[in-house]
Structure 1
Amino acid sequence: MTMSKALAWIRKSRGSDDDIGLEEQREVVTRLAHELADEVEMFDLGVHTGFSSLTRDDDSDVIDQNEDVLDVVEQLRSGEYDYLVAFDDRRICRDGYLTIITYACKQGDVEISYVADVAEDELTHDMHRLFERVTKQEEIRKAKSALQRRRENGYDEGRPKWGTTYDADGKYLVPDPETFPDALTAIEMAESDEPEYSYRDIVERTSIESVGTLKNILDRRDWYRELAIEHGKL
């Protein structure tokens, strides 16, 4: 049986009167972490700024320049933990870098839990919007990378052309046994002089859904013939 694992994140800002004390954090955060997971590791930053280089020009002491923080964020991203536990979101970070940590947790399927109630204030909503934007940008980046790899390997890409499907490895287009014969039939009918067939006749006598789809097939007739020859259909 796999043991669940939680990371208890402890931090207090320097000279901030509204911060909960470190000892109290260590007690209540660790208690919640033990309630959630079988194994608990403490990540104790002690007194440390909660701001990052996103909002501070002097980056000598900011949280995202701390090597231990960067290592932990990578561990969260890689799924090393099942839970990230803190007293509240401000104990983790006090600016937009929290979004990066949150996204790392999403990538690693890590659940974030707080001891205190975290209000859905304006900053939180702004961070949610930033998180959504970062997530979308990451999805776009991955899609572009995958497309580039397909092109470099000479694989087909995009939505399958009518009458075709991708092979078992998802690399190349191959004839769809159910619909590809109708593509060849449509080409043959369109080129017939006797009898002559209109586009509407061809659509009605095949499984091709529309005249627009038929035109696309006819525009690519040489490609369809080459595919048919390659797979022994002609």
Structure 2
Amino acid sequence: MNAASYLWAPPAVASAAVQGSAQRLPVNRLFFVGRNYHAHAAEMGKPVDKSVERPFYFTKSPTTLTPSGSTTPYPSETNNYHYEMELVLAIGKAGFRIPAKQAHEHVYGYACGLDMTRRDLQLVARDKGRPWDLGKDVEHSSVISEIVPMPGRVIACGAITLSVDGQVRQQSSIDKLIWNIREIVADLSLFYHLQPGDLIYTGTPEGVGPVVTGNHLAGHIEGVGEITLTIGPAA
């Protein structure tokens, strides 16, 4: 069979660095859990009652994936660009309708992540019942540190922090997730056949806020690592 012929060169495979390896993790899809810390949900004016609600998700294009240490341009059409520091789960084994007690079997590892957001556009869309794409699926907005391999391990606790220009803005713990890692994997796998290379950004704690050109962001998750980002001038 002849190899496929394209009108122009297809984009490179999105990938993330892996700690201690020259091989990179090929990224399949990017999933994001919305409002997964009570204090953040409250600061967004949308408190969560886990007894009657399920997790909800949005996605971004893998082309938005950006490595830690980058300088990215302040995006167009926003005056309120926000940071959101998150624990990222990398799926390493395919699964569908995964029982929570078996979620660990599908874990490859973890990373630090930033879900950068055009907050003004997101809130307009939310309040009008429209999709969040223009607020969330922003070029350069899915920042990722190197993946730390932890096959079979479920992270249940650990400090998560973010500083902007040396001032702490977000400070919480992974044990405050409303839906924990096992619950997220089990629920998301009811909707999608999870595949190796799927990344799940598990939600952000309270303290989100705006950045401006020149700001330097530095995040940390206990037992996982560090992430940095510098906001450059508008393109």
Structures share fold, TM-score greater than 0.5: no
Task: Please give the TM-score of this superposition, normalised by the length of structure 1.
Answer: 0.18
Task: Please give the TM-score of this superposition, normalised by the length of structure 2.
Answer: 0.18
- Structure with more of its chain in strand, by fraction: 2
Larger RCO, structures 1/2 (Cα 8 Å, 6+ apart): 2
- Structure with more of its chain in helix, by fraction: 1
